[in-house]
């Protein structure tokens, strides 16, 4: 979490670092003035008072900060909780419940170490079953037997594929071996976003193939498929992507469980059915 809101005990230190990296915020025409305008204030005095600790930000300002700083769901909740605690502290009221919420939030965010895997490196583990096997390794009954792995994955792969997947995950440093020789997960996998990549395309296609099989092979009680077809504005795509990313992060934080004995897949697709017509409407 280095460089994120979670690295700072006082949210004001984070805001100051982001908004005023090169000088005092009293300076005329400084970054603070520009930030104030972005947040809907004509004068930087309010923001200056917040950064100095002379004033607690309003709910409206907090939500504008969340949007302007592009905070993810966890960071946004962290900021909201910190501000609420500050208000209660100033009134001399109990903050124990909110502090428990913060502690739980920080634990949920920090329990999984993440590493950004370069696209060229990701090519070696682009096959859908590689990340599934990585998750499977953390399950208590895991057995490093390639045929056992195949059976656990509904016989969707062959033993040699399971063997290669483990080799590639080890080579990438995503998994390793303890002194007893047993495999363990070193870190979760994150790839760069918004960059075209044949490897990522291959990965998503593999997961969609598994989804198509699941809708035929698994009972309604064991799966969940929902969809909606809607008219929407193309210019809202950036907002849609962020909300989907926040939703996926929330699901991971809420339902990923160390003691779990099964591996599930959550896929969300949002794409355009239409294209520009011959008459001159918008084309792809």
Residue 280 lies in a domain: no
Tell me the C-alpha distance between 125 and 168, whole Å: 6
Res. 284: pLDDT tops 50: no
Res. 149: pLDDT tops 80: yes
Residue 276 lies in a domain: no
Tell me the C-alpha distance between 8 and 281, whole Å: 49
| The domain boundary residue, chosen from 58, 81, 110 | 110
Position 166 confidence tier, pLDDT thresholds 50, 70, 90: very high
Q: Residue 19: what pLDDT?
A: 80
| The domain boundary residue, chosen from 110, 125, 151 | 110
The tens digit of pLDDT for each residue in 82-111 reads: 999 999 999 999 999 998 888 877 766 665
Number of domains in the chain: 2
| Residue 187 sits in the same domain as residue 216 | yes
Within 10 Å of residue 238's Cβ, how many Cβ atoms?
9
Domain range holding 11?
A: 5-110
Res. 236: pLDDT tops 90: yes
| Residue 122 sits in the same domain as residue 203 | yes
pTM confidence score: 0.60
Tell me the C-alpha distance between 66 and 76, whole Å: 6
Res. 170: pLDDT tops 70: yes
Residue 246 lies in a domain: no
| Residue 47 sits in the same domain as residue 97 | yes
| The domain boundary residue, chosen from 72, 89, 110 | 110
Q: Which two tokens stand for residue 250?
A: 């929330």
Residue 273 lies in a domain: no
Contact 137, 186 (CB under 8 A): no
| Residue 64 sits in the same domain as residue 104 | yes
Residue 180 lies in a domain: yes
The tens digit of pLDDT for each residue in 44-88 reads: 888 889 988 999 999 999 998 988 888 877 788 889 999 999 999
Residue 84 lies in a domain: yes
129 Cβ contact list (under 8 Å, min separation 6): 153, 156, 157, 161, 162, 165, 206
Q: Which two tokens stand for residue 14?
A: 């984070």
Residue 144 φ then ψ, to 5°? -80, 70
């Amino acid at each position: 979490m280095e460089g994120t809101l979670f690295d700072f005990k006082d949210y004001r230190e984070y805001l100051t670092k982001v908004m005023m990296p090169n000088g005092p915020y009293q300076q005329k025409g400084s970054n603070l003035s520009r930030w104030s305008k972005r947040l809907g204030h004509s004068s930087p005095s309010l923001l200056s008072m917040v950064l100095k600790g002379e004033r607690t930000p309003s709910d409206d300002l907090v939500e504008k900060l969340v949007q302007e700083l592009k905070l993810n769901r966890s960071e946004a909740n962290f900021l909201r909780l910190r501000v609420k605690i500050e208000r209660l502290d100033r009134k001399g009221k109990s903050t124990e419940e909110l502090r428990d919420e913060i502690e739980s939030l920080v634990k949920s965010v920090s329990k999984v170490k993440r590493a950004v895997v370069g696209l060229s490196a990701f090519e070696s583990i682009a096959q859908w079953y590689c990340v599934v096997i990585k998750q499977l390794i953390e399950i208590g009954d895991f057995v490093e037997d390639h045929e056992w792995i195949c059976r656990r994955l509904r016989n969707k792969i062959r033993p040699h594929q399971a063997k290669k997947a483990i080799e590639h995950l080890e080579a990438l440093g995503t998994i390793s071996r303890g002194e007893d020789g047993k495999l363990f997960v070193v870190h979760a996998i994150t790839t760069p976003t918004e960059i075209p990549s044949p490897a990522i395309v291959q990965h998503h296609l593999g997961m969609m193939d598994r989804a198509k099989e699941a809708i035929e092979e698994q009972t309604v009680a064991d799966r969940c498929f929902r969809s909606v077809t809607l008219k929407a504005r193309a210019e809202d795509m950036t907002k849609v992507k962020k909300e989907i990313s926040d939703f996926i992060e929330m699901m991971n934080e809420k339902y990923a469980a160390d003691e779990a004995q099964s591996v599930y897949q959550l896929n969300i697709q949002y794409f355009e059915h239409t294209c520009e017509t011959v008459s001159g409407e918008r084309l792809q």
